[in-house]
Structure formats: structure tokens, C-alpha cells
Amino acid sequence: MSDAFERLLDRMVPGSGKHSVDAPHLPPTLGLEPGPIIARGSVGWLMRARDPMLLREVAVKLSAPERGREGAESVLQEARTTARIAHRAVLPVHRAVDLGDTAAIVFRLAPRLTLGAM
């Protein structure tokens, strides 16, 4: 997307474009080292992180604090549903954390290939 479009998107839907000043901070309780944001959506952010204990890269989905409990519940429901699925096209959930008005899911980081290549 163009830079102008990203700025417009941030003004229209705060936190949705790549120029957002509302970028998330990983809660210290996760014990992860933050990496770059992969994507933003209506519920929150998906970002890359590093697990220093297990020496691996992971993906973390965080609900946006301004979405409140509703956003947190949405992320937690996604975690519960995804954790019940065992399929090579579905990333495994490592853990989910309920932080009150926010929630987080820690996933295996997806390989850089398309579903069609699987």
C-alpha cells in the first residue's frame, strides 16, 4: 500500500495503518522479546517476537486495549477454537493469556509460503 494511503488509514481507523503511533507493547508477563508488526486488523495486532527461553521465533496476536473486554474475548475464543484444530495448514497455539482488557495468543510463526504450496 502507498504511504499516503497508510496515513489516511491511520487517521480513519486508529491503529490500522503502518504509521500508527498506537503500536502495541508486549506485556512483560509473556516473557517475549518484541519484533516487528506483521499485520493489523479490527481486533488488534499480529507481531513477530522471540522466545528467549526456547530460542525460537513466534507470532503473537494482541487484542487492542481500546476494544476492551469484547476484543479480549474475541482473541481468547480464537485461541480456544484454533487450539482444537490439528491440521498442517493451521498454526499451532503455544499459549493464550488473558490480561483483563487485552488478551494475547502465541502461535508458531508461519513459514513464508502460501496454503496452495502445502
Q: What is this structure's pTM?
A: 0.76
pLDDT value at position 21? 46
The full DSSP string for 4-44 is HHHHHHHHHSTTSSTT-S------GGG--EEEEEEEE-SSE
pLDDT-based confidence at residue 111 (cuts at 50, 70, 90): confident
Residue 4 has pLDDT above 90, yes or no: no
- Rg (Cα) of the chain, in Å, rounded? 15
Give the position of cell 504511504. 3
Average of per-residue pLDDT values in the chain: 85
Q: What is the pLDDT of residues 67-105, one digit of tens each?
A: 999 999 999 999 999 999 999 889 999 999 999 999 999
